[in-house]
Amino acid sequence: MSGGPVHPADPTAAHWHDGTRCVHAGLPEPTPGQPFLPGPVFAAPYHLDPWQGPAATPNGYGRPDNPTRRLLEAAIGELEGGECRVFASGQAAITGLLLAVLRPGDTVLLPADGYFPVRAFATATLAGMGVRVGFVPTAGPYPSFDGVRLVLLETPANPGLDVADIAVLAGAAHAAGALVAVDNTTATPLGQRPLDLGADVVVASGTKALTGHSDLLLGYVAARSAELLETVTGWRTTTGAVPGAFDAWLAHRSLATLDLRLARQSANAAAVVELLADRDDVTGLRWPGRPDDPAYPVASRQLRRMPGVLSFDLGDADRVARFVAASRLVAAATSFGGLHTSADRRAQWGDDTAPGFVRLSCGVEDTVDLVADLAAALDTAGTAGPLS
Ligand SMILES: Cc1ncc(COP(=O)(O)O)c(C=O)c1O
């Protein structure tokens, strides 16, 4: 079983559209009698050639080597336009990149409004190792990159959904000798191609829309530089944060429908935004696909499709709880990008957001059902403040 790209010499593959690319991503050459996507290979050790040892086969031991994982990496790599290494979670991938690249005395710039465990990790661990850590809001303004080793952008940022201009910032960072990493979790490789826009490396949680079924954790790093990939691969092999074979297989199976899922999620988000924009009992509505959103000018150039995630403010925690409880279709849950619409009041996790701030992740329900359900739930929830 090979982990190489599908039909690498096939010139038509380069022109395939998103749905075709997702369905075929990472699949081995068709072989009569074999499945489309080979089943998961469960192995810690593999049989070795008694004379040549591990040199004779790509599979020696399960931590560095697994054929199911390699097929998933080929698939994600095709979609991102680079080589990919998968990790046990998004956090494993992001912290792995940071720890593999940064050394004491280096400076790293991180998003001030991005996924908060990355900031917590930087403050607790990187700063303690002698790495200087700076935080910059995703929408800017950005400081000079002189003396910076690595800039991590998270765009669109979770949960505020601001957007950073990857091409402009990569140009400025490279001129100063800094590396640029982009967290592509919210957009997914179909929504945004950071490596094409000049980023050196993509990091992401595959737990969200990429796999989209709310049943596994996954992360990945993708890059074009062989040196960077070698560093990341070495880091993963020696620290061991690999996903299991079954999760890798489930993720690959789920990837085939990414185009379809994103299309419905994005259409649902657009319809929900239209509903919420018309209500004077909802404030702070943010969605990068909305023409009067502050992120729209960059988002409309940079994103290939708009995410299914939006945010708004319902005033207080009580009203958020009443809204979710009144809905038949909105699950109270963290995470986002799944098949099921879910709402998360981010302040309950310690995010620096207002008490009534909600991140809503639109699922793949029928748009008409979702909009009707949300409208009714908001009506039932009443206005902010406890019901008397
Ligand atoms: C933007 C972003 N990056 C990284 C992560 C971490 O991913 P995981 O939960 O798979 O570790 C998350 C999780 O929500 C996220 O939203």
Q: Would the CB of 220 count as within 6 Å of ligand 1?
A: no
> What is the torsional sign of CA 39, 43, 47, 52?
positive
> Is 137 buried (19+), middle (13-18) or exposed (0-12) by CB count in 10 A?
middle
Q: How far is the CA of 186 from the centre of ligand 1 (A)?
A: 9
- Decide whether any atom of ligand 1 lies within 6 Å of the 158 Cβ: yes
What residues are paired with 125 via a beta bridge?
none
Range 182-196 average pLDDT: 98
Query: Using a 6 Å cutoff on CB, does residue 155 contact ligand 1?
Result: no
Of all residues in the chain, the percent with pLDDT exceeding 70 is: 96
Tokens of 105: 């005395």
- Which residue from 364, 368, 373 is spatially nearest to 327, judged by alpha carbons? 373
Cβ atoms < 10 Å from Cβ of 356: 21
Residue 7: pLDDT over 50: no
Nearest CA to ligand 1 atom 10: 90
Q: Which of 87, 89, 115, 203 has most ligand 1 atoms within 8 Å of CB, for mutation?
A: 115
Atom number in ligand 1 closest to CA 94: 4
| pLDDT computed for residue 10 by the predictor | 65
Q: Whose CA is nearest to atom 14 of ligand 1?
A: 335
Cβ atoms < 10 Å from Cβ of 11? 7
Of all atoms in ligand 1, which is nearest to the CA of residue 154?
1
Nearest CA to ligand 1 atom 15: 115
User: Could you tell me if the CB of 154 is within 6 A of ligand 1?
Assistant: yes
pLDDT reported for residue 9: 53
Q: What is the mean pLDDT of residues 303-320?
A: 98
Question: From ligand 1's centre to the CA of 95, what distance in Å?
Answer: 11
Q: Where does the pLDDT of residue 384 fall: very low under 50, low under 70, confident under 90, or very high at 90 and above?
A: confident
| Atom number of ligand 1 nearest to Cα 218 | 10
Only one residue has tokens 């005395």, namely 105
pLDDT band at 133 (very low <50, low <70, confident <90, very high): very high
Q: Whose CA is nearest to atom 7 of ligand 1?
A: 90
Amino acid at 313: D
pLDDT digits (tens, 9 = 90+) for 258-310: 999 999 999 999 999 999 999 999 999 999 999 999 999 999 999 999 999 99
pLDDT for 386 equals: 57
Residue 2's pLDDT band, with cuts at 50, 70 and 90, is very low
Please compute the mean of the pLDDT values over residues 320-345 and round it to a whole number: 98
Give me the helix-helix angle, 367-381 and 258-277, nearest 10°. 40
| Nearest-angstrom CA–CA distance, 121 and 195 | 25
C-alpha 110 to ligand 1 mean position (Å): 14
Q: Are 248 and 74 in contact (CB under 8 A)?
A: no
Other C-beta atoms within 10 Å of 297: how many? Answer: 13
The per-residue pLDDT for 13 is 78
In whole angstroms, how large is the CA radius of gyration of the chain?
Answer: 22
Q: Which atom of ligand 1 is nearest to the CA of 335?
A: 14
Query: Does the CB atom of residue 87 touch ligand 1 within 6 A?
Result: no
Kindly report the number of other CB atoms within 10 A of residue 127's CB atom. Answer: 13
Say if CB 341 and CB 329 are below 8 A apart.
yes
- Ligand 1 contacts CB of residue 73 (under 6 A): no
CA of 278 to the centre of ligand 1 (A): 31
Give dist(CA 337, CA 251) in Å, integer: 14
Q: How far is the CA of 184 from the centre of ligand 1 (A)?
A: 10
Q: Are 266 and 306 in contact (CB under 8 A)?
A: yes
Pocket mutation for ligand 1, best pick of 113, 205, 216, 336 (most atoms within 8 Å of C-beta):
205
Q: Are 209 and 364 in contact (CB under 8 A)?
A: no
- Mutate which of 208, 242, 346 for ligand 1? The one with the most ligand atoms within 8 Å of its CB, which is 208
Share of the chain above pLDDT 90, in %: 94
User: What is the reported pLDDT for 96?
Assistant: 98
Burial of 197 (0-12, 13-18, 19+ CB in 10 A): middle
Closest CA to ligand 1's atom 6:
90
Quote the ligand 1 centre to 157 CA distance (angstroms): 11
Question: Among residues 310, 375, 313, 357, which one has the least CA distance to residue 337?
Answer: 310
> Does the pLDDT of residue 334 top 80, yes or no?
yes
Number of the ligand 1 atom closest to the C-alpha atom of 91: 11
- Per-residue pLDDT averaged across 180-208, rounded? 98
**1 has a pLDDT exceeding 60:** no
Residue 217 CB–ligand 1 contact under 6 Å? yes
